[in-house]
């Protein structure tokens, strides 16, 4: 049985004070579930406060992005080591908003994933098709190409240390969720594709679903055999709602 993971992507929300208030809400509520690893991914400016507040708790901290480079003249960038030394253990890579607004390619995401793994961070690598691609019947082709690109050069060892997140772009922040059956079909396809690299590692690989996950639709999604939890945007900004999702896992 794969351990479930519920990760909250806060995007560009929460000052330090708002971060502390939200995390206190999570710590005071029933946000611990033995079957699920809980991760919060606040913006860079709140990571230190989050790591300090969550030290010794069941909640892990993730970054929302990082540089492919270890250091140097890269204005505005943050390295894997900078995240790690704060106490961060996960990092989201290749989110569709990074792909859309910052032109991130599968190749760049692959290089970032290599840098994250060699520093000891667990990458949560995002893939997913747009609405146009889905309606053109290209979902498997698009997702398959993304998998091949972001996992290029990886074998069983690397696959054992990372997480994939299937996030159909048309479901992110739109309130339009893939049905459990639709999501499961793509998750099964993803696991089969990864089996082409290593069957055993593919069977153990956590594959999260993301796209308008809420407390009231999480259970149906998480019950699917190839869905191992969720990457949650909007609903992770409300303690009660996020706790509902954690408890559904």
Please identify every residue annotated as catalytic: 95, 167
Query: Which of helix, strand or coil describes residue 242?
Result: helix
The nearest distance, CB 111 to ligand PEP, in angstroms, is 21
Our finding on whether 167 is near ligand PEP (CB under 6 A) is yes
The least CB distance from residue 148 to ligand PEP, in Å, is: 22
Binding of ligand PEP at residue 213 (CB under 6 A)?
Answer: yes
Residues contacting ligand PEP: total by CB under 6 A: 13
Q: Assess 124 for contact with ligand PEP (CB under 6 A).
A: no
The stretch near ligand PEP (CB under 6 A) out of 46-54, 114-122, 156-164, 165-173 is 165-173
Contact 36/5 with Cβ under 8 angstroms?
yes
Judged by CB, which is closer to ligand PEP: 86, or 183? 183
Cβ contacts of 98 within 8 Å, gap of 6 or more? 65, 104
Distance CA 12, CA 34 (A): 29
| Residue 212 near ligand PEP by CB under 6 A | yes
Distances (CA, A) of 175 to 9, 139, 214, 232, 234: 16, 20, 9, 12, 10
Nearer to ligand PEP, 125 or 201 (CB): 125
Region near ligand PEP per CB under 6 A, out of 63-71, 75-83, 167-175, 193-201: 167-175
Residues facing 165 on adjacent strands: 126, 208
**In this chain, which stretch among 82-90, 102-110, 209-217, 219-227 interacts with ligand PEP, using CB under 6 A?**
209-217
Burial of 28 (0-12, 13-18, 19+ CB in 10 A): exposed
Helices (H) and strands (E) in the chain — how many of each?
Answer: 12, 8
Of the candidates 172, 194, 227, 246, which one interacts with ligand PEP according to CB under 6 A?
172
Contact partners, residue 227, CB within 8 Å, separation at least 6? 180, 183, 184, 187, 207, 208, 209, 221
From the list 63, 123, 210, 229, which residue makes contact with ligand PEP (rule: CB under 6 A)?
210
The Cβ-side half-sphere exposure at 177, using a 13 Å CA radius, reads 22
Residue ranges in 227-246 that form contacts with ligand PEP under rule CB under 6 A: 231-235
Q: If DSSP codes are grouped into helix, strand and coil, which group holds residue 92? A: strand
Contact by Cβ (8 Å): 92, 64: yes
* Residue span 6-45 as binding mask against ligand PEP, x where in contact by CB under 6 A, dash where not: ---x------------------------------------
Residues that bind ligand PEP in the complex, under the rule CB under 6 A: 9, 167, 172-173, 210-213, 231-235
């Amino acid at each position: 049985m794969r351990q479930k993971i519920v990760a909250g992507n806060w995007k560009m929300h929460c000052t330090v004070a708002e971060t502390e208030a939200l995390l206190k809400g999570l710590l005071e509520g029933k946000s611990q579930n033995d079957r699920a690893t809980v991760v919060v991914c606040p913006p860079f400016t709140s990571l230190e406060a989050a790591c300090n507040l969550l030290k010794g708790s069941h909640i892990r901290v993730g970054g929302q992005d990082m540089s492919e480079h270890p250091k140097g003249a890269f204005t505005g960038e943050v390295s894997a080591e900078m995240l790690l030394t704060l106490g961060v253990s996960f990092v989201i890579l290749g989110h569709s908003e990074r792909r859309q607004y910052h032109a991130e390619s599968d190749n760049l995401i692959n290089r970032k994933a290599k840098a994250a793994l060699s520093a000891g961070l667990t990458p949560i690598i995002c893939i997913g098709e747009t609405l146009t691609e889905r309606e053109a019947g290209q979902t498997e082709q698009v997702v398959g190409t993304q998998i091949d690109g972001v996992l290029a050069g990886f074998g069983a060892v690397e696959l054992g240390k990372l997480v994939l997140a299937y996030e159909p772009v048309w479901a992110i922040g739109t309130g339009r969720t893939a049905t459990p059956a639709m999501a499961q079909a793509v998750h099964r396809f993803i696991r089969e594709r990864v089996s082409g690299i290593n069957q055993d590692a593919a069977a153990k690989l956590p594959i999260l679903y993301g796209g308008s996950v809420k407390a009231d639709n999480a259970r149906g999604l998480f019950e699917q055999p190839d869905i191992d939890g969720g990457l949650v945007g909007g609903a992770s900004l409300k303690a009660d709602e996020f706790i509902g999702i954690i408890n559904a896992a």
